[in-house]
Structure 1
Amino acid sequence: MAPSLPTERLAGRPFDPPAGLAELREQRPLSRLSYPDGHTGWLVTSHALVREVLADSRFSVRPELRHLPVPGAPGGNQPAPPGMFSGMDEPEHGRYRRLLTGQFTVRRMRRLTEQIQKITDEHLDAMARHGGPVDLVRAAAQPIPAQVICELLGVPYADRARFQGHALDLFRLDASPEQLAAAYSAVHEFIRELVAAKRAAPTDDLLSGLTTSDLTDEELVNIGFVLLGAGLDTTANMLALGVFALLSHPGQLAALRADPGLAGHAVEELLRYLSIIPFTVRTALTDLELHGERISAGETVTVSVPAANRDPARFADPDTLDLLRPASGHVAFGHGVHQCLGQQLARVELQVVLPALLTRFPALRLAIPAEDVALRADMLIYGVHELPVSWEE
């Protein structure tokens, strides 16, 4: 039995999964796991078993059934409220997902791609005017996804700072219950105001499009909460940590600079290699057998995304960053019916921003030693707190 989910990363290896996961995957890919609340469940670490669990409808995502493998992780023991589709099983989940999928039209995605390029250029221009060094997190990695998701939902960009401050608090592992409750309340109030504005005066955005359905205000608020929260922190951290990884691998950085058309491959490999979502959880709805073990109804299974994406049974030489690798099949966006709804938007952002940054600043480099970069070891989503960079003028 693993006494707890491995979370500690080896010093000097910021891009590798927590120590201990590889050994578990090799020796016992389905192992017993002790949870902070006293529950005894399971940990899955192989790529094949991770996909099997995530595709199996006998496992539930419902928050009232689950146990979380790290102390203080945001969660709850109440059923997901109306519209909070990420915490629902079928058929409720499918109803919301179908409505949302219909809003991700080809026309809207094409327009968003053009907006992403425009937003990116504006922020890189501002970086150039400021001159180095700058914190890439605040200069580009956070504001670009924030503005993109605001474009998608029709949020006035002037309000982004108010939302983002509260949204980031939701992902802190060291936040008190009172701090989490305050952040949750503030974000919901922000979106409630937005829904009311869209009801009164619809515009050409996803949230306005949903107001024409039979969804209630409460459902719309919770859907907006899921999309706005998910669209900020994950993409921001992939951008910042992705740049850190590239700057730490000069050969791979040179390959992408030499061929911006490599961006598609590069993004998939970075998603696999970095795996910023450390885990997801499922709870067995019935007694079942998995990998020769009996999983009892009510037992929570924690799925390790980093361990699955570094599985040598699926990816050759998995601990090496190789932008030419065909990295399809990774589970950075999950798998099965709950696979990330906005994954294509995230891919577009990464494919636009990373080459643009490296082309605009061909001499981009870390402004501090790599070992001094502050890692988000205290956050649910992995990344960096700051990434000071500079370039030759």
Structure 2
Amino acid sequence: MAQTFPVQRTCPFAHPAEYERMREQAPLVRTTLPGGEVWLVTRLAEARQVLSGTGISGNPATPGHPNRAFRAEPPTPEEEAARREFAVGHFIDLDPPEHSRFRRLLIPEFTVRRIKELRPGIQRITDELIDDMLAKGDEAELVEAFGLALPSLVICQLLGVPYEDREFFQSRTQEALSNVEDRDASHSAMMEIRDFLDDLVTKVAQQPGDDLLGRLIETGQLTHDELVGVTFLLLVAGHETTANMIPLAALTLMRHPDQLAELRANPDKWPMAVDELLRYQSVVDWVAFDRVATEDQEIGGQLVRKGEGIFVLGASANRDERAFERPDEFDIGRGARHHVAFGYGVHQCLGQNLARAEIEIALRTLFERIPGLRVTVPDEELPFKSESPIFGLKAMPVAW
């Protein structure tokens, strides 16, 4: 049975119906792309096996990597050279031991203890954004005013971006990561951010401060270009996912008022609710879960041969009936932290503690300070990023 891939998601509360059919069919199914066939992993157990297993590579340069299958023609030497140059420091695409070299340096920056130290700053940024919304009247566009703004300002705090540069940094970040229709404008903004970070690394190297970038520089273990690449990766990985999650999560809670009321009455349940929101929404589906087998192996009863590409469908795995009871229901009491919204294994999201803190503080504060928050258009009129590999809202008009 031929499978369509990628499958566009059009509903904020349901994943593609094709995923349910594929899960029922098999834990691994084949799909044909312009450049060849790849495996799609549909269930949670096999997803975790692939994401944590040996004999698996995430490096796009590895022969058979599935990203290459999106094109019928292989990349030109010039395109390959440009990709390699741009990818310096993007350790998410590297395999151990090179991946481990970067990750060891960054782990101390994202521990539970470190994120606890950042929480007052996240709370301050959240309050300031809500203050600004309230000062402008009784309505706002939540994606731009809150969802996109909060993560970029938190990243500024994390990296030590000078206060006077934050407006530029925030505007370029929003342009780069939210403009899915105008790829040229998005690419141009990306290059402006890259140039900005290049200059920032140069300046900070002259007098490192007590922030993530300053501490990385003082280790002396990364080159200038690697530092630029790492900070750029942290920006992209840490901004777009959280920026999409916050408005979607707010919409989900508004559509489940009984559970929102329970959170208001019992704030200690927020951490569990955040994990359920992450599982339920799964805004990152396959785009970060691209792998290729580097040796023959059995996965889900299926022989996967060396050089065969694999996409783990994170959104499908997080709705797997074998792993989650009533998976299509939203339940803040579920307590299912074994989801793969942050991946799994050696490449599991380094910033997951930060993301959880941002989403929790953002939502809790938003509904505490604006208890009458409501969406002003029907769900079917909300514009979604159905064409984007990371699902989200383009806009969400709200009032109170």
TM-score by length of 2: 0.90
What letter matches 2:2 in structure 1? A
What letter matches 1:92 in structure 2? E
Structure 1 residue aligned with 2:48: 51
Instruction: Give the 3-state SS of the residue equivalent to 2:31 in structure 1.
Output: strand
The 5-angstrom pairing of residues 22-61 of structure 1 reads 22-35=20-33, 37-61=34-58
Instruction: Give the 3-state SS of the residue equivalent to 1:134 in structure 2.
Output: strand
Change (3 A) 1:71 1:247: farther
Gaps of 5+ in 1: none
- Higher relative contact order structure (alpha carbons within 8 Å, sequence separation ≥ 6): 2
Structure 1 residue aligned with 2:236: 229
Structure 1 residue aligned with 2:66: 67
Instruction: Give the 3-state SS of the residue equivalent to 2:122 in structure 1.
Output: helix
Structure 1 residue aligned with 2:311: 302
Q: Deviations over 1:265-307 (max 9, x none)?
A: 1100000000000212101112222222221221110100110
Identity of aligned residues (%): 42
What letter matches 1:287 in structure 2? D
Instruction: Give the 3-state SS of the residue equivalent to 2:284 in structure 1.
Output: coil
Residue 49 of structure 1 deviates from its aligned partner by: 0.5
Matches of 2:346 and 2:359, distance apart in 1: 23
Structure 1 residue aligned with 2:226: 219
Equivalenced residue count is 385
Residue 110 of structure 1 deviates from its aligned partner by: 2.8
RMSD of aligned residue pairs (Cα, Å): 2.2
**Does the aligned pair in 2 maintain the 1:284–1:295 contact within 8 Å?**
yes
Structure 2 residue aligned with 1:383: 392
Matches of 1:67 and 1:325, distance apart in 2: 34
The 5-angstrom pairing of residues 111-126 of structure 1 reads 111-126=117-132
**Does the aligned pair in 2 maintain the 1:7–1:19 contact within 8 Å?**
no
Change (3 A) 1:226 1:368: same
Structure 2 residue aligned with 1:240: 247
Residue 63 of structure 1 deviates from its aligned partner by: 1.4
Residue 226 of structure 1 deviates from its aligned partner by: 0.6
**Does the aligned pair in 2 maintain the 1:9–1:19 contact within 8 Å?**
no
The 5-angstrom pairing of residues 15-164 of structure 1 reads 15-35=13-33, 37-65=34-62, 66-68=65-67, 78-79=83-84, 81-104=87-110, 108-164=114-170
Matches of 1:107 and 1:55, distance apart in 2: 26
Change (3 A) 1:105 1:319: closer
Q: Deviations over 1:64-84 (max 9, x none)?
A: 232239969xx9755584321
Change (3 A) 1:107 1:252: closer
What letter matches 1:29 in structure 2? P
Structure 1 residue aligned with 2:203: 197
Change (3 A) 1:142 1:24: same
Matches of 1:27 and 1:171, distance apart in 2: 35
Structure 2 residue aligned with 1:361: 370
Matches of 1:361 and 1:121, distance apart in 2: 11
**Does the aligned pair in 2 maintain the 1:172–1:378 contact within 8 Å?**
no
Structure number with higher helix proportion = 2
Q: Deviations over 1:20-77 (max 9, x none)?
A: 0011001112011112x321110001000000000012111101232239969xx975
Gaps of 5+ in 2: none
Q: Does 1:249 align with 2:256?
A: yes
Change (3 A) 1:105 1:53: closer
Q: Deviations over 1:294-343 (max 9, x none)?
A: 21221110100110001111111000000111121000000000000000
Matches of 1:140 and 1:44, distance apart in 2: 34
**Does the aligned pair in 2 maintain the 1:275–1:305 contact within 8 Å?**
yes
Instruction: Give the 3-state SS of the residue equivalent to 1:102 in structure 2.
Output: helix
Change (3 A) 1:173 1:24: farther
Matches of 1:298 and 1:347, distance apart in 2: 36
Residue 145 of structure 1 deviates from its aligned partner by: 1.0
* Aligned with 1:169 (options 176, 189, 193): 176
Structure 1 residue aligned with 2:299: 290
What letter matches 2:232 in structure 1? F
Change (3 A) 1:113 1:162: same
